[in-house]
Amino acid sequence: MSASGIGAGFDPALIKGSDNFLQREFPMSAKNYQAISAKVYETSGIVLSETKQEMVYSRLARRIRALGMVNFNDYLSHVEQNINDECTSFLNSLTTNLTSFFREKHHFEYLQNTVIPALKAQHRIDKKIRVWCAAASTGEEPYSLAMVFQEAFPTVAKWDIKILASDIDSNVLQTANAGIYDHSSIEELSAERQRKWFRRIGDDKVEIHPGLKQLLTFRQLNLLDEWPMKNKFDVVFCRNVIIYFDKQTQKKLFSNIYQQMMAGSHLFIGHSESLHKVCDQFKGLGGTIYKHL
């Protein structure tokens, strides 16, 4: 999904190929698409542009088919009438979850070479470090964080290190919590990391080492809701999230994140993202890495 303004409404003429959508298995009108976009924005802050109609149709058509319904009008009524139950499935269907182990490698290198040595000195007495991965998806990112911290703290048992891994999508969190992946997903990792942190199961699957799971807590969390966390964080990864939000939502999100972080802590965002004109409470360090002022 890409971020752009929703506007007052969608004119059918703006929806390319709208006649085709009306003639498909489940007719989707311009009014339907406007209602879907408005509901996504209301519940998650994600902005859908008119260019995402194909993705929206294909993903929600599967849900409509599974429920035995015949059109988008009935499905949208179902969402409104069963908001507590169906809204989760609605958002799960539309959430994009593209991730991989050690994606944007320079972030993990900076964490290993610069941030963690500073944290060791800062917390040499209390030995307590808190990390938040705010868009955990299917788990590759938080497990990558766990590998870096385990490798940096050979005597990790002497430290109180916890990584909160949250996501709005409950389905991907089930995958993350299980910690089972295709073997092809780790082929780019070093042989040492493959051997140390993964166990082969079957011909084409691998399972995460239990030692990594001990550092992680997976929780469903909508970033627009009130957050239950009491601790402040030393490191926050919130990558490839704000590209789905409008400017107002971005400002609110990073103001809240700032309040949830320790002084001098570090924030990592996606390679195509920026806090320019979004939040001036962080100092940019380059490479989409920011420091809490």
Does the annotation count 200 as an active-site position? no
Residues in the chain: 293
Q: Which of 63, 167, 169, 234 is catalytic?
A: 167
Q: Give me the amino acid identity at 230.
A: K
* Structural tokens at position 278: 């979004």
Q: Among 169, 153, 155, which residue's Cα sits nearest to residue 89?
A: 169
The token duo for 107 is 């972030």
CA angle 141, 144, 150 (to 5 degrees): 145
What's the rounded Cα separation, in Å, for the pair 220 and 215? Answer: 17
Q: Give catalytic status of residue 167 as yes or no.
A: yes
The CA distance from 70 to 27, in Å, is: 8
> Which residue, 37, 22, 25, 35, is CA-closest to 63?
25
Element (H, E) at 144: helix 140-152
- Positions annotated as catalytic residues are 59, 167
